Structure 1
């Protein structure tokens, strides 16, 4: 038993302690004159008017700046190698971005268009994680589309809106964010209908991994990142659902995020923590079930083992 204790104590203390290019984060002190609506260039005049109205109603605003998102915008921010998009690509998904002065974190709301959710691929949590990696801070983002579409245009519009307002984002971080969103979207699609899986759990695990990485520094080894991913998958009850190939994809994305310089900013850890709270708050039914005696997280299990050992010694 004493040998077991010698093994547990270093791990426990390590876990507690655990808890180039300068990255560009949107300055939280920047004061935007008004919210920005980014509207897809392929919208008809009627669709454009209805899209703008839908976004304004959702955000409860009437005075916004308008920005048109084109195929060239998609190429610039999401696909510079033009493997998926080109200058002639259609853009329908649109967004409205409200920059918040207070330390509120990132929130994304996908809004129905005429009673229907037309964003077919990207989830709200995937938008949030991509925005975090790209360097967006303290913003509320509303997304909608007049027709069924994956939602890439809205994300490119978010990046363009920040650039338009003087908050230039680091391209390496934006590229890493796009890789991240594509990876998480693919994993969610692959696990669609799997018992015990949700997109919220996956995004919470990835956000938690980013927060843990930022706490440990900006020069982690692949083995350290792998340990962090394993712990987060366990905490989110995904260990037996995410397969080894998918886990490796997540690790690869996190390595790219570190290489992008995102972890160098103090804002990153802070915003990641707020995003975890946001994700968990938006899916309380899921996370309340995870927070049960049978699904205690790794650190709690560790301390339970130690507490029981000491209790046995003194009883």
Structure 2
């Protein structure tokens, strides 16, 4: 009896010890957020521009004023952006800079493009594109501020954001980073192609993409390409883009979602929550745009035809 009791106690102790060990592993694995703010500074900045950039970014800090700095150069661009198809070299210049501030759990990813001397010098990448890329790369719960002393596309700031997490000891999945960079290129090209198009805004596209990611997460890592295609089409329709985004662009979006699935992003339990938060925030901040999507003028052609048919038969029966 004593022997049996001893075996039982040893078994319980082993289970408890294993549970504590497993728990510590899970906590360590989940700790992929920054421990303190990190400011990334482009290596091509003059001393005056560098100080001006520091002043512009540090003024945005909402809490902890202590931050570390990281210089971003051509090698940083090559390391983080070239694997997805960019062609930067070690001698590439970098002016765009960023400040990444960790926030409380559940606050989501927030991006603000900060004016430099009263001017927005980020010419290509929009705030919502930065947010979607950060989500795909595996970043969560952070305020990100981006600026540049000279007009530039903003790639240097993006590479700096990725590098900041590695500097802080957090590891972003390179496959997700590659997917994020590819996604950034696709969204930027679609927005550029539709600049000035009636009924199109960058907010609509990024809201649709955030919705696609949320639906992907709900579907799970075994989602098929056919299901992904349906998810893409449904979210484009929900954002009134189904007749604006052409077939080639739709194919590009489907391929982006397939790459996100293959990157392992859907295995992150936080991905779905962050995607939904991003979509809610875009809708809230651009409420006027999304309110207009529900007006009579902007309802799609097929719906109007169907409403006409319904109205016609109602008239007959009445």
Cα 1:83/1:188, change in 2 over 3 Å: closer
Indicate the residue corresponding to 1:50 in structure 2: 52
Matched, 1:275 2:278: yes
**Unaligned stretches of 5+ in structure 1?**
1-24, 298-303, 305-315
Indicate the residue corresponding to 2:88 in structure 1: 85
Cα 1:292/1:107, change in 2 over 3 Å: same
Aligned pairs, number:
276
Q: Which of the pair has the greater relative contact order for Cα pairs under 8 Å at 6+ separation?
A: 1
Indicate the residue corresponding to 1:7 in structure 2: none
TM-score, normalising length: structure 1: 0.82
Counterparts of residues 205-244 of structure 1 (less than 5 Å):
205-244=208-247
Cα 1:88/1:29, change in 2 over 3 Å: closer
Asked which structure has the greater CA Rg, the reply is 2
Can you list the C-alpha shifts for 1:251-296, whole angstroms capped at 9, x where unaligned?
0111111011101111110100011011112211101222447768
Measure the CA separation in 2 of the matches of 1:219 and 1:81: 24
Q: Which runs of 4+ in 1 moved over 6 A?
A: 293-297
Measure the CA separation in 2 of the matches of 1:98 and 1:273: 21
**Superposition CA RMSD, Å:** 2.4
SS for the counterpart of 1:80 is: helix
Matched, 1:180 2:183: yes
Counterparts of residues 1-315 of structure 1 (less than 5 Å):
27=30, 30=33, 32=35, 34-60=36-62, 62-80=65-83, 83-292=86-295
Tell me by how many angstroms 1:214 deviates: 0.6
Can you list the C-alpha shifts for 1:24-50, whole angstroms capped at 9, x where unaligned?
x99468561x31110001101111000
Measure the CA separation in 1 of the matches of 2:230 and 2:126: 27
Q: Would you say the 8 A contact 2:96–2:157 is kept in 1?
A: yes
Q: Would you say the 8 A contact 1:28–1:103 is kept in 2?
A: no
Tell me by how many angstroms 1:219 deviates: 1.7
Tell me by how many angstroms 1:58 deviates: 2.4
**Unaligned stretches of 5+ in structure 2?**
1-27, 301-306, 308-318
TM-score, normalising length: structure 2: 0.82
Cα 1:208/1:82, change in 2 over 3 Å: closer
Measure the CA separation in 2 of the matches of 1:132 and 1:199: 17
Measure the CA separation in 1 of the matches of 2:60 and 2:236: 34
